[in-house]
Structure 1
Amino acid sequence: MNLLSMNKPRLLLCSGIVTLLAACGGGEVTDVLLPKHQDPTFPAVQLTLAHVNDHHSQLDPFPNTELLIGGVPTRVELGGFPRVTSAFGAYKAKDNVIKLHAGDAITGSLYYTLFKGEADAALMNTVCFDAFALGNHEFDDGDTGLKVFLDHLRNGSCKTPVLAANVKPQLGTPLAMTKPNEYIQPYTLKSIKGVKVAIIGIDIKGKTTNSSRPLATTVFEDETIAAQRTIDALKKQGLRHFVLLTHQGYEADKVMAGKLTDVDAIIGGDSHSLLGDFSAHGLTSSGSYPTQMRNKDGQLVCIGQAWEYSKAIGELHLNFNPKGEVKSCSGQASLLIGSTFQRQDSAGNWVAVDQTTRTQLLTQLRTSPLKVTEPDVAATAVLSGFADQVAARKAEVIGSATEALCLVRVPGESTNRSGGVAGCEAANTLARGSDAAQVVAEAFLAGSLAADIAIQNAGGVRIAVPAGPLSMNTAFTLLPFTNVLVELPMTGQQVRDVLEDAVANHLDAGQSSGSHPYAAALRWRLDMSQPRGSRFSQLEVRNRATGVWSAIDPARTYTVATNDFIASGKDGYTTFGTVYATGNYVNNFLLYTQTFVDYVKANASIGRPAAANYSHQSVTTAAGVALP
């Protein structure tokens, strides 16, 4: 018996690709044995993803940043966008590099206040990124403000693709005047040695709609659903390599990795996470670089993020096997520093090191995550055109800080947002939390003649303030947004509800940690291991006239000063929003930055409040750890 014909259909194959018959048409049909199915194969390509995120209009370097080098406190110049340009320029001779920016390019300094994205776009065009993902702060001035920035970006020669697969402006609105993808693309393709790699953009949904000002008609889809839909569609076109360029935070990236099929790498932003081992240099990090996870297929996914404010660059190397899977990944996030160093002399003064020591340090740093990088000359020239206009305003001294005002969002958070600022080495581990947010709340209280208490969200305060002179630039970098001061009448119970709202927003709803509350003339004990409604205890109010503290009265009406952003219910401040929606509030039309400027000028010098005046009197973390 012919074994080939047993229980098998007769097949007639007429193909220009595979011919299994001598002829097609007349004649006897012959049984054939099809070749065994083989999985498709792909070139075993090696790919490098070079990336930054969250530069937030911070274009100048940070002078006198204190780091440990060889165990010795050493001051260096850190970052600055011309160094970012120089770092990316080192890849010009390589043909396997994709240059990425993971969002939040704008808002955060006088460069944005004065130029509304023009300066940022000009500096970004000195790099020519292969893709830029939208961040939540791109929408701080609404869709119209974002269009202004993107017009500046596209007016350059780079034509950088702007990505967000889950953001869909309504046709006829500023970001989609004539067609849906006029400004925002879901993905872009990059060919590396003949192999196409898809870069897919994802913006954070909840935080952008709750914490920025997009049009109500601009749709933000679920991040994971949009990512998988885009991957699936591209896979049907024959693509196999998928990189997500996200702006949703490190923890969300790790969770998303496990929910998706086919994803190879995630380059992220939003959480300002420093990844890698920087312990030898006195900095704490949020995880390893790269962080290795498994996707829904069980295959390796590699995650990278590169801190903030033009301080660092990430370099993620991906090695693919013939199945198109990630075989291995490696890399490093590096801080970009200058080539001059200062150390303390015997009298405690900071002085430049001698030439021998400098040479030794340069040699030592060759294998370090501190990358000595000279600023790019052309980028420096571009920046100087804007810097000259900003200098006079920046230089105006408004007072001084007697000690460092450290920046923290949630007490106990993993990354020290004040890293490199002397006096803030362990700020994120302390119960008091953010000195900077606390002082801003005090400024609000001082700026409102009617307020009993003032509340400020942590995310509205952007930098740690080093000890020393305070300039107008310090104020506008600390408080860069266009928020104004408002006053709302609220019962003591509503005040408690506001605080519970703010913490639940990041603990329960998984939204921005920037919602975490700080207050003036209001203090509490916070236990984040407890359920919502039971986290705040011993809530007390300080009498404005006498300075005496007493328990808050749930039935009494207090006047609360805050910024109009959270007053309107943004950042999870639902109870604020309920009162605000009634129209029962007073708008002072005083820019919240100006309240800080006025506060500093009135006091000449400012420092940390007395311990009894901090809003956080004690803190237990969500893990049940009591902070010192």
Structure 2
Amino acid sequence: MFSSKSERLFTGMIAAALAVSAVTPVVSVEAKQSEKVTYQAKKQETIEILAPTSPLVFKQGEKLKGKDRILNVKIDGKVKKQPVRWSNLTTSTIGEFTATATYSHKGQTVTLDVPYTVEGYELAIMHTNDTHASLDNAPKRATAVNQLREENANRLLIDAGDVFSGSLYFNKFKGQADLTLMNYMQYDLMVPGNHEFDLGTEAGHPEFAEFIQNAEFPFVSSNVDYSGDQYLNALYSEDLTHKPVDGKLYEGVIKTIDGKKVGFFGLTTEDTANIASPGPIQFQHYIDEAEKAVKSFKQRGVDQIVAVSHLGFDDNPAVDNDLELAKRVEGIDVIIGGHSHSRLNEPVVVADGAEPTVIVQAYQYGDFLGTLDVVFDQNGKIVSHQGKLIDVKTYAADPTAVSLLAPFAQEIESIRNAEIGAEATAAFDNPRDAGDVTKPSVRKNETALGNLITDGMLDRAKQMDGEVVAAIQNAGGIRAPINAGPITTGEVLTTLPFGNTLAVMTLDGSELLSALERSVSVYPIESGGFLHMSGMKVEFDSSKPANSRIVKAQVLKDGQYVDVVPTETYKIATNYFAAKGGDNYLEFKKAYEEGRVNDLGIIDWEIMRDYLVKLQTVTPSVEGRILDVK
């Protein structure tokens, strides 16, 4: 036996490397004694949990699989995949968190704090609306689309209607020029707008049917009955389908995006029956059909729902609009809008219901490409969103798109120079005073051109609504003269280049008088808001203070001019820009917001062209419609 003094204890030292610390702690283990021999303790292994080579990202509600529980572990310099125990690892909530991984080996235990992210379900959209065959900037739009798709290949491209009408491209090619570019840009969906029904007859819509059949994308149309149309009926299906076929119309389409089903349905304004030529097409109530669509999607397990809408953002609520749709139909998450040409620089959120609805719209004529990025939780509720309008004019033109458009553009140029079949016996001037208030100007004086334009507006408006008594045109919308001699299409387009549609306002006499005061309030200084008129006469006294200058205002009724009565109501035609309150016409804006404006959907330059053809010969004439009695 050894004495207590000479007793020997052999102690070994073991190192364990912990990944969560910059300092490697030392673990001591007492070696076993032997009565027969003495020995040196074996060196214990060094172990380390290695951090994941890429960030841990999960979808909310995602079930963790076996592979999610394996990490690389380094044991004495050798790396092996090993199952680890996790604590605080859950996918129930969206956000950034930290979990702890634990690994044990031969009595040793090491841990590692691992950051991880739980994401919602993303939906990325590009959108256009009311392009109205304006194709000059389409190749630049193609560049923007391609760049955005390079950043996110899952980003959808959707059009909210009114590709038809508004330019020479449409007059000549009936949408096929537009479609060539849309197919190249790989649009994913479109809803028909009211102008898609402009060319209809009692038998149906052959041009629109051809447009649909040649499209390399499907259409969504949920409140339109095509059964009476011999051309469109065969292209329409009442299904909510997850396997849509290009060149077909569907009640709704289901797409799987970022691992979740998303439902898309389409709505077209019921006012199409009044402002287009739908022929046998019937339009159903937008609220009823939207509720049916949402219910059908929910029954199929779809809780992320998008309405592609051609109702108008804030159009007449007595008819239909997107704000009313969002308020009255629960379950719509996103509305991609059109029809009202609204420039929504950022998304508008309607939060009246249990869940918010995000509304977007991208102005008009393809000037902008809208973007919207939405994140949903696992229950289909929006948790975040961001969106903006991209000015496509800032992009270089896509070379392929330019080459695709070139044959159409060449034909259009010859049409632009073609005579329309009308002649001016003398020039219709469009004077400006260049700062000299003693000189005449279209922006402060009656002009023969202003009279001609408003005469055409009144003539067309009366055909649509016999109660219209007068027409007005803001001077800022008249941009160029008409030369003497044969009139060309190009001249008409240059005179009225903005493609505004014709609208009818129902105004109180007091509102009309207030607007007329605003028209002459800065005279003799030029104003783009100065109003030219037909079916109405105004006398004002420029020596009086602003807003108290109107001496007499009369409208033409039954062939005679009668005084405007403040308490009576009048139907006045104007362009849609002015009807929405453009040029600071607060009286018109109020009528618009109260649903007293009806957009007739007819483009201004086309109205002027048709009126000139109807007259054949026109002579400039100033008739004393607007007089300063000073």
Scaled by the length of structure 1, what TM-score is found? Answer: 0.54
2:336 aligned residue (264, 267, 279): 267
Residue 189 (str. 1) matches residue 284 (str. 2)? no
Residue 473 of structure 1 and its aligned partner are, at CA, apart by: 3.2
Structure having the higher Rg: 2
Question: Structure 1 306/499 Cα, relative in aligned 2: closer, same or farther at 3 Å?
Answer: closer
Whether 1:522 and 2:550 are equivalent positions in the alignment is no
Whether 1:48 aligns to 2:124 is yes
Moved more, 237-246 or 143-152: 143-152
Determine which of 213, 219, 224 is the counterpart of 2:287.
224
Tell me by how many angstroms 1:211 deviates: 0.8
Tell me the alpha carbon deviations over residues 419-448 of structure 1, each in whole angstroms, 9 at most, x when there is no partner: xxxx99xx9xx9x9999986423357899x
Q: What does residue 555 of structure 2 align with?
A: 540
Q: Pick the aligned partner of 2:430 from 386, 392, 402.
A: 402
| Separation in 1, partners of 2:344, 2:597 | 31
Within 5 A, what are the aligned runs for 1:124-143? 124-142=182-200
Mapped partners of 1:325, 1:433: distance in 2? 56
In the other structure, the counterpart of 1:292 is 349
Native 8 Å contact 1:51 1:315 kept in 2? yes
Query: What is the CA-CA distance between 1:379 and the residue it aligns to?
Result: 1.4
Change in Cα spacing, 1:480 to 1:103, as seen in structure 2 (3 Å) is: same
Match in the other structure for 1:301: 357
2:249 paired with 1:162: no
Contact 1:110 1:473 in 2 (8 A): no
C-alpha deviation, 1:92, in angstroms? 2.6
Per-residue deviation at 1:331?
A: 1.3
Structure 2 partner of 1:214: 278
Contact 2:536 2:625 in 1 (8 A): no
CA positional deviation for 1:499: 7.9
Letter of the structure 2 residue corresponding to residue 473 of structure 1: G
**Pair 150,172 (structure 1): closer, same or farther in 2 beyond 3 Å:** closer
Q: 1:201 to 1:573 in 2, by over 3 A?
A: closer
Amino acid at match of 1:187: G
Check the 8 A contact 1:51/1:314 in 2, yes or no. yes
Q: Deviations over 1:30-81 (max 9, x none)?
A: xxxxxxxxx9999711221110000011112xxxxxxxxxxxxxxxxxxx11
| Correspondence for 1:174 | 231
595, 598, 611: which one pairs with 1:595?
A: 611
Structure 1 residues 378 and 114, CA gap change in structure 2 (3 angstroms) = same
Indicate how the Cα distance of structure 1 residues 168 and 443 shifts in structure 2: closer, same or farther if over 3 A, else same. closer
Q: Is the 8 A contact 1:336 1:373 kept in 2?
A: yes
- 2:411, 2:489 → 1: CA distance? 14
Q: Deviations over 1:525-575 (max 9, x none)?
A: 9xxxxxxxxxxx95434999xxx965599xxxxxxx99xxxxxxxx9999x
Percentage identity across paired residues of the two chains: 23
Aligned to 1:82: 139
Structure-2 residue corresponding to 1:441: 454
User: Is the contact between residue 261 and residue 295 of structure 1 (CA under 8 Å) also seen in structure 2?
Assistant: no
Counterpart CA distance in 1 for 2:180 and 2:159 is 14
Match of 1:254?
A: 323
Partner SS state of residue 123, structure 2: strand
Q: For residue 384 of structure 1, report the CA deviation from its aligned partner.
A: 1.1
Structure richer in strand, relative to its length: 2
Cα distance change, pair 213–321 in 1 and its aligned pair in 2 (3 A): same
**CA deviation map 1:335-393 (0-9, x unaligned):** 222xxxxxxxxxxxxxxxxxxxxxxxxxxxxxxxxxx2111211111211111111012
Q: Is the 8 A contact 1:402 1:468 kept in 2?
A: yes
Give CA-to-partner distance per residue, 1:66-101, whole Å, 9 cap, x none: xxxxxxxxxxxxxx1112222211233313311110
CA distance, structure 2, for counterparts of residue 248 and residue 133 of structure 1: 11
> Residues 260 and 179 from structure 1, CA distance in 2 versus in 1: closer, same or farther, beyond 3 angstroms?
closer
Q: CA separation of 1:460/1:384 partners in 2, compared to 1, >3 Å: closer, same or farther? A: farther
Q: Cα distance, 1:320 vs. partner?
A: 1.3
> What is the aligned-residue RMSD (CA, Å)?
5.1
Alignment deviations for residues 79-135 of structure 1 (CA, whole Å, 9 cap, x no partner) = x11122222112333133111100000111111111112212212212121110111
Moved more, 303-312 or 84-93: 84-93
The corresponding residue for 2:479 is: 466
Is the CA contact (8 Å cut-off) linking 2:125 and 2:156 kept in structure 1? Answer: yes
Taking a change above 3 Å as real, the CA distance of residues 229 and 275 of structure 1, as seen in their structure-2 partners, is same
Post-superposition CA distance 1:288-324 (Å, at most 9, x none):
x111112532x12111000000111111111112332
Partner of 1:492: none
Residue of structure 1 equivalent to 2:153: 95
User: Structure 2 CA distance, aligned partners of 1:572 and 1:330?
Assistant: 33
Alignment match of 2:389 (pick from 333, 339, 343): 333
* Partner Cα separation in structure 1 for residue 337 and residue 347 of structure 2: 11
Structure 1 residues 460, 377: CA separation in 2 closer, same or farther (over 3 Å shift)? Answer: farther
Judge conservation of contact 1:457–1:518 (CA < 8 Å) in 2.
no
1:385 aligns with 2:407: yes
In structure 2, the CA distance between the partners of 1:446 and 1:135, relative to structure 1 (3 Å rule), is closer
Whether the aligned pair in 1 keeps the contact of 2:198 and 2:277 (CA below 8 Å) is yes
Which one of the candidate residues 270, 285, 307 is aligned to 1:244? 307
TM-score (ref. length: structure 2)? 0.54
Asked whether the equivalents of residues 263 and 301 of structure 1 are also in contact (C-alpha less than 8 Å), the reply is yes
Any unmatched runs of 5+ in structure 1? 1-38, 61-79, 277-288, 338-371, 405-422, 448-452, 484-497, 505-516, 526-536, 554-560, 563-570, 575-589, 615-628
1:115 and 2:173 matched: yes
Once residues 470 and 535 of structure 2 are traced to their aligned partners in structure 1, the CA distance between those partners, rounded to angstroms, is 15
Residues 275/88 of structure 1: CA separation in 2 closer, same or farther (3 Å cut): same
Structure 2 unmatched runs, 5+: 1-91, 95-117, 239-246, 315-320, 433-440, 461-465, 510-530, 540-551, 566-572, 575-594, 599-605
Give the conservation status (yes or no) of the 8 Å contact 1:272–1:306.
yes
3-state SS of 1:186 partner: strand
After superposition, the C-alpha distances for 1:208-238 in whole angstroms (9 at most, x for unaligned) are 01111112x4221111211111111011111
Give the deviation of 1:191 after TM superposition: 2.1
Hey, what's the Cα distance between the residues in 1 that align with 2:366 and 2:209? 19
1:199 Cα offset (Å): 1.3
Amino acid in structure 1 at the alignment position of 2:555: E
**Equivalent AA in structure 2 for residue 201 of structure 1:** G
Q: What SS is found at the alignment partner of 2:406?
A: helix
- The 8 Å contact of residues 246 and 267 in structure 1, kept in 2 or not, is answered as yes
Query: What is the identity, as a one-letter code, of the residue corresponding to 1:154?
Result: Q
State the partner residue of 1:152. Answer: 211
The structure 1 residue matched to 2:626, chosen from 602, 609, 612, is: 612
**Change in 2 beyond 3 A, CA 1:457/1:322:** farther
Aligned equivalents of 1:385, 1:155: Cα separation in 2: 18
Conserved 8 A contact 2:454-2:473: no
Asked if the contact 2:458/2:471 (under 8 Å) is kept, the reply is no
Whether the 8 Å contact between 2:193 and 2:339 is mirrored in structure 1 is yes
Q: Deviations over 1:438-466 (max 9, x none)?
A: 6423357899xxxxx996998999x9442
